[in-house]
Amino acid sequence: MSLLKLADAEIYYEIHGGGFPVLVIAPGGMRSEISFWEKAPWNPLEVLADKFQVIAMDQRNAGNSKGLVRGDHSWNTYTQDQLALLDHLQIDQCHYLGMCIGGTYGYGLMLAQPQRIRSAVFLQPMGLDNNREAFHEMFDSWVADIRDDHPEVDDEAWRVFRDNLYGGDFIFSATRDQITSCQTNTLVLQGDDLYHPQSISRDIALNAPNVELIAQWKTGEARDAGRLRVVNFLLENT
């Protein structure tokens, strides 16, 4: 088991394959952990490992990772965990691939250290479109699972933490105006459900420069074509 020990957290990670590095962040909302890739239309740990060094991680307090929780935590808390892992592995530049909440994390990284992300792939990025209560329920369900491990966190701190994450709009970690400054070449595979509205994928393509949008990619021939486009996109930007 590979663990990165930080001052207030232990982050579990895995490395698959070799080549130019790709940091991948799994779906699952607050439960984002490596094992969730097994439920995706295709698993990037398997698809990319023959051409790239694939770096996968469980997010703080998901899977095999654990860490402190405070009311003043925010998306930046997770960004700093992710950057700390890249620092630990001495990776100056990498590609990025994230699904669901991975889109939100990805923009956190690109806004914090744009020079570090060579290109980005977002699979059905999550975001706000008349669905805030669904995100609150998802967060509260996660809290119910881990609350006993964090007796130091009271109800008010949990509420503030939730508001820090899901009180904003669009993709939560960035506004539409903020992503206009992200010059990173980006491939978006469109979402189509409650947590991943089509409007979010389309607004990313509309507001950010250098974005390619794929509407169909989950089943049949479209899945095969989408998977191949992701591989070729990453190779083109390596």
| Domains recognised in the chain with CATH numbers | 2-167+181-236 (3.40.50.1820)
pLDDT at 217: 98
* pLDDT reported for residue 1: 75
Query: What is residue 145's predicted lDDT score, i.e. its pLDDT?
Result: 97
In this prediction, residue 28 carries a pLDDT of 97
Residue 98, both tokens: 């994230």
Spans of the chain below 70 pLDDT: none
Query: For position 84, what pLDDT does the model report?
Result: 98
Residue 131: count other Cβ atoms within 10 Å of its Cβ.
15
